[in-house]
Amino acid sequence: MSQIAEVIKSSYQQFSEVARDYINIKDDEHYQESLAFIEELLEEAEDGQDDSINGLIEIIAHAIERYESKDPDIVQFEQEAMSVGSEVAVLRLLMQQYNLTGADFPEIGDRSLVSRILSGSRSLTKSHIQSLSERFNLNPAWFFVCEQKDV
């Protein structure tokens, strides 16, 4: 092995020892620390690919993803979130962002119709989507993103 390869290997082993709890997350405490750490790194990192911190961000992000993929609560949440149609997700996002209730969508109809759409028992019509897109200045395609994801 070349001298530079030995230096890289040794440096990586030292890094792995120091960063052990961040790259092999085993519990919620280290998970929360890793989330806070990656947030700090994201604030500090340059946008370009040349910033060496971006490599560290990838390592920590991968560790967080591995931990989350094993956490039953996070897995269940992700499955539930993915099962919601995009039209419902967009409607809920609009409600959250603009602090709206079911009664605040005259372009859809009354509160009970909005509630049925949010529960998945009814769907938005083409007219609803067109009116909501105009009101909130959205591309109507946003109401269909999830359904076309697997195409």
3-state secondary structure of 121: coil
Percentage of the chain lying above the pLDDT 90 cut: 66
Burial of 32 (0-12, 13-18, 19+ CB in 10 A): exposed
Do residues 69 and 47 both lie within one domain? Answer: yes
Do residues 89 and 49 both lie within one domain? Answer: no
Do residues 71 and 89 both lie within one domain? Answer: no
The tens digit of pLDDT for each residue in 57-79 reads 999 999 999 999 998 888 887 77
Domain that includes residue 116, residue range: 84-148
| C-alpha distances out from residue 33 to 4, 19, 75, Å | 33, 12, 20
State the pTM of this model. 0.57
Do residues 68 and 113 both lie within one domain? Answer: no
Q: How far apart are CA 73 and CA 106, in angstroms?
A: 36
Count up the domains in the chain and report the number: 2
Do residues 11 and 69 both lie within one domain? Answer: yes
